[in-house]
Structure 1
Amino acid sequence: MSLFALHILASGSKGNAAIVEDTSTGMGVLIDCGISGKALIERSEQCGFDPCKLQAVLITHEHTDHISGLGVCLRKLAKSGVNPTVFAQQASIDGSNTLRELANNHDFRTFKATEDDFVLAGMRITPFPTSHDAMGSCGFRFETETDALGFMTDTGIVTGEAHEALRDVRLLGLESNHDPAMLRACAYPAYVKARIAGDGGHLSNEQSAAELAELLSDRLEHVAALHISQNSNDYRMPGETLRAAVTRASHPANVHVAYQSKPITIR
């Protein structure tokens, strides 16, 4: 039976990378690459995933914390004979010098988050738009005949398309970026605080919990809080807030927290 594992290698404003693995084949797809090649290899191996089995890279959007390590990682993988295809929206490529340069030297393919889906490593992948201040911003739903996984980070609100795409999954990665009171009190400039809290910014713990409450289903087993701010949040509150939503519904789902500097796996 084909079941997913979600290896979150890094999640936060200093770098993001996650791998969706089909455990029946060992093949995987990398979501974003904002970490070093060394970190990608080491953290993959810590999770029990062989990085030589990466089949593709999916880019959620062009912000630096999601793509800064892509070139180095592609070159490092190529030395092992691994050349994953990179999938990105054309708007993200157009909006990033890094992606434009890499697209000239690597196998890049484009998609539209509102129109396309595709099959990679035996998984059907459906991108969906998110609400973020990027040229192209999206999340992804992964499916096989026996499993489903949803992944959404970097969004100020939950779009209707996103909500539909995240329904009825077994594994869920869901942004829980900031605590509003901590955001107001932190040292960020006022314009940065407004950006984070706005519709094109990031979900708060409470917004994430409200969305999770709407996504609780008989199928959902695990949810991981993503992109937790190290300046306007901590690693305790997102877990507590999401667990409270689960507890109120008397639901058995397990809540996990993703970290900036160490990997976790949910399966």
Structure 2
Amino acid sequence: MLKLHILASGSRGNAAVVENAATGRGVLIDCGICKRDFFARCDEAGFDPAKLDAVLITHEHGDHTKGIGVTMRGLAKLGRRPAIYAAPATLQASKHLQDIEETCEIRALAPEALVSAAGMSIVAFATSHDAAASFGFRIEANGDAAGFMTDTGIVTDAAHAHLQDVRLLALESNHDPRMLSEGPYPYVVKRRIASDEGHLSNEQGAEELASLLSTRLEAVAAMHVSENNNEYDLAKQGFRAVTEREGHPARIACGYQGRLTTLS
């Protein structure tokens, strides 16, 4: 069985660990949080960071990469040098991914690329975001499956296909359109967030969730919830309205900026 430990989710930092419960080994998706928070939340989740086998980078933005270097150095002191998977364009675009070869091996990531790590098979799929390259992931192990998608302005065909028939789902629900429109951000930032290369709104996330309901789906987390243009309860209510309307038993949770959420 898989476990998804959402260590942090939001515009101030993102990180999540997918754990293969059968082996206790795992992969890290992004690291935009400090080393202290990374280790503290892994400890809270009951996951041993020394059992981390790989790091998957969704895209180069700092809230997804700024903690990579110091965290990898911390892992190196534990004798772990997990491979980092990132698109070549992401490596070129991110100052946070420079000069980290001494603590890890860097491997190229591409759309539809298959990564094998921690006893799991992981497929990267393209998302639509204003980055040099951006990905979501489908993770499978021992007949179990999890889907992970944040930072996308639309749901691409590839993303929709790879998120089908998963048991655990992490799905973006970034903003409430009214709050975004009436909020303090400059117009150009509002337009970026709401664009096809920005972030999914609560309504867009809920619409995608409705199309992904299956008998296999057990738990869903609303992800990358904006602290300025959304509320955690609004994001969860949007997802919960879908499951209640369809009479679906999936548990609804949320990825938080400052505390751990685990889906299992």
Q: TM range, normalised to the smaller chain?
A: over 0.9
| Alignment gaps of 5+ in structure 1 | none
SS of the equivalent of 1:232 reads: coil
Aligned residue-pair number: 264
Structure 2 residue identity aligned to 1:129: A
Q: Is the counterpart of residue 140 in structure 1 residue 137 in structure 2?
A: yes
Return the offset for 1:97.
Answer: 2.5
Q: Is the counterpart of residue 122 in structure 1 residue 119 in structure 2?
A: yes
SS of the equivalent of 1:169 reads: coil
Corresponding residue of 1:11: 9
Q: Is the counterpart of residue 151 in structure 1 residue 154 in structure 2?
A: no
Describe how 1:1-267 pairs up with structure 2 within 5 A: 3-103=1-101, 106-113=104-111, 115-267=112-264
CA distance in 1, matches of 2:9, 2:109: 24
| Alignment gaps of 5+ in structure 2 | none
In the TM superposition, structure 1's runs of 4+ consecutive aligned residues that sit over 6 Å from their partners are: none
CA distance in 1, matches of 2:248, 2:88: 40
CA distance in 1, matches of 2:180, 2:101: 37
CA distance in 2, matches of 1:193, 1:242: 23
Provide Cα deviations, 1:81-126, integer angstroms capped at 9, x if missing partner.
Answer: 111110001111121222233247631000211x411211110000
CA distance in 2, matches of 1:84, 1:104: 11
Structure 2 residue identity aligned to 1:252: P
CA distance in 2, matches of 1:153, 1:72: 24
SS of the equivalent of 1:192 reads: helix
CA distance in 2, matches of 1:87, 1:149: 18
CA distance in 1, matches of 2:227, 2:138: 27
CA distance in 2, matches of 1:246, 1:254: 9
Structure 2 residue identity aligned to 1:246: T
Q: What TM-score, normalized by structure 2, do the two folds share?
A: 0.98
CA distance in 1, matches of 2:96, 2:61: 10
Return the offset for 1:237.
Answer: 0.2
CA distance in 2, matches of 1:40, 1:111: 23
SS of the equivalent of 1:199 reads: coil
Provide Cα deviations, 1:165-206, integer angstroms capped at 9, x if missing partner.
Answer: 000000000000000000011100000000000000000000
CA distance in 2, matches of 1:5, 1:162: 21
Aligned residues: percent identity? Answer: 54
